[in-house]
A and B are shown apart, each in its own frame.
Chain A
Amino acid sequence: MHLGINHFLVLASILFCIGLYGVLVKRNAVAILMCIELMLNAVNILLVAFNHYTVAGAGMLTGQVFAIFVMTVAAAEVAVGLAIIIVAYRSRKTVDVDKIDLMKW
């Protein structure tokens, strides 16, 4: 009944693989962005779990600092990604990634 590090690692990998499946399978660009957020959250769980269980000295919170940076970059990524999707929707009238193939030869 002890909560070990493996619990969190397995949970994070399940979440990551669900997100990966969604990224590969979805056709709506916003849905792909949502699945990328799932994957980033899985990585954040990993960072915090490693920081909680395997860190050396007391008061060392490097993993949590990394998680904060991941959150910052995720927020920036979602803002720019949605802006790009909205611009693509304006010019192509669709957010289907199979139909946005302007740069495909």
Chain B
Amino acid sequence: MGSFIAFWILATVIVGAALMVVLSRNIFRSALFLVLCFFTIAGIYVILSADFLAAAQVLIYVGAIGVLLIFGIMLSRDIRWGGETTRWRRPAFLIGGLLLAIIIVVIFSTAWPVGKDGPTEATTSALATQLFSLDEGFVLPFEISSLVLLAALIGAISLVRDK
């Protein structure tokens, strides 16, 4: 019951903030709404009992990506600009609405194999076990993702460096 009410409040805030991101005329304001959206999505993770992911969402998305995007907006001069849209507004609306309708119809006509409810205890150590267990873990993807991060770091630095 409590999580039901919490879900509806969070879902309303998420959809409203996402709409403001897309529709706002001021790009700085839409970045702030994006941060609000990220924060409420962390609440959705809490409802789904993914506590580590909720913390990671706040740290990575709200903390890092939000600040990075605001930096990007500040560095590309005119802050008040950015609400302009292409002339493909109506076709894009049509495509998005049509896709949403199709997806919702498919969701409600599929019998999802719903099992028992999810994990009820803290997931951090279980997540670590899943990630690093040697037989069916994700050690190699983990190492590769660290390589991806390193490559992105070097790439970003060498792109914006003054030559």
Contact = CB atoms under 8 A, between A and B. Distances in A.
B22 A5 contact: no
B152 A86 contact: no
Contacts of B65: 37, 74-75, 78
Contacts of A14: 15, 18, 100
Given A1-B1, A45-B41, A17 B49 contact: no
A87 B160 contact: yes
Contact of A10 (B22, B52, B76, B107): B107
Interface residues of B, number: 85
15 contacts: A3-B7, A7-B11, A16-B103, A18-B21, A30-B76, A33-B72, A37-B65, A52-B50, A54-B113, A64-B123, A65-B138, A75-B149, A76-B151, A83-B156, A83-B159
Interface of B: 1, 3-4, 7, 11, 14-15, 18-19, 21-22, 27, 30-31, 34, 37-38, 41, 44-45, 47-50, 52-53, 56-57, 60-61, 64-65, 68-69, 71-73, 75-77, 81-82, 84-86, 88-89, 91-93, 95-97, 99-100, 103-104, 107-108, 112-115, 117-119, 123, 126-127, 129-131, 138, 141, 145, 148-149, 151-153, 155-157, 159-160
